[in-house]
Structure 1
């Protein structure tokens, strides 16, 4: 069976927003990432926060990144990245939903993502099966079945039918992964040999 191997990198578009009790607005409000760190040095100790602001009144909230760390224990390159508000480092922390939820308690997440596709091996016009490798650049609440259906141009019921006929396999989590948020490191295999729109699905998977 000729197989098309494709790698997808999935990146969330909008950073999760903590839901904070704003002392200016007088209620719980989403706070957006200000894309800047605040570095505070107290003697040899350093605190670092990523600054968030209320979407309505611009009140600030600090997301702790480092607390009471000795300057000597911080790599110079890391300290430089923090002090210069390095965009890649800001994104790394702003899209860490688990850490943000741990600090704030509740967060608001968007399912919007971008998908960068890389063809690793095979030709869409000749293959009859797909091996899809997923890499996640930040967490997302987007369910796997919604991602696959949208990118393949299929309905979710069609995906379920493929699974029922054992034409769809997901490793390591199995079919239960379809109804869960996309997870880094998943491999999706689809046997399309009996599907009339095989070529269209394979083309959509890599373009």
Structure 2
């Protein structure tokens, strides 16, 4: 085995960030879950839009502001229709906007759970002794690169660290402690498995 198996991993987070809010029903700080529903309030030519969240314990509501006093003419008809029809893709995009959430509430709980869709770019599994992985993220995730690789390849994080120290695992762009940082779109990882006894199992796991 002497070739390189080149793969694209499309990574999609599973659980949207949850703002931590002082719930006036529960009487304490609680996590709030996105309902997937928008509230659109029109007052003359002005429109307010919120994404509705619910307390995970008592179902109390909290509104995540999307538009405030926006002139109707400044909102494209297709976007307004998507908001009024609770378009799932649009709701998901706003629900994963952790920066905007933090700007409104401060404290947000993030989750590392992801789904990885693997697509072959080149090479053959039965002749591969190295992996070249390119990452594409639907949205930012807090999942560390070493955890992602360990989960998907079926090997330990300590082993990944050892491979990196031997320069058998290279991350591009190669920043300090790259494996311990969150996975990012555009990251490329090359792993030389030619001396590993379980290289075939790792190659199979990499390709899904």
- Tell me if TM exceeds 0.5: yes
Asked if 1:3 corresponds to 2:42, the answer is: no
Match of residue 66 from structure 1? 67
Q: How many Å separate the matches in 1 of 2:106 and 2:195?
A: 48
Q: How many Å separate the matches in 2 of 1:41 and 1:6?
A: 48
CA shift at 1:175, angstroms? 5.3
Is the contact made by 1:2 and 1:122 (CA closer than 8 Å) also made in structure 2? yes
Asked if 1:136 corresponds to 2:137, the answer is: yes
CA shift at 1:57, angstroms? 1.6
CA shift at 1:35, angstroms? 0.7
Match of residue 109 from structure 1? 110
Q: Say if 1:118 and 1:175 are closer, same or farther in 2 by CA, change over 3 A.
A: farther
Asked if 1:27 corresponds to 2:28, the answer is: yes
String of CA shifts for 1:103-148, please: whole Å, max 9, x gaps.
2101112221111111111111101211111111223222110110
Give the 3-state SS of the residue equivalent to 1:88 in structure 2. helix
User: Which aligned runs of 4 or more in structure 1 are off by greater than 4 angstroms?
Assistant: none
Is the contact made by 1:169 and 1:175 (CA closer than 8 Å) also made in structure 2? no
TM-score calculated relative to the size of structure 2: 0.95
Q: CA RMSD in A?
A: 1.3
Give the 3-state SS of the residue equivalent to 1:132 in structure 2. strand
Listed as ranges, the gaps of 5+ residues in structure 1 are none
Q: Say if 1:205 and 1:35 are closer, same or farther in 2 by CA, change over 3 A.
A: same
Listed as ranges, the gaps of 5+ residues in structure 2 are none
How many residue pairs match? The answer is: 207
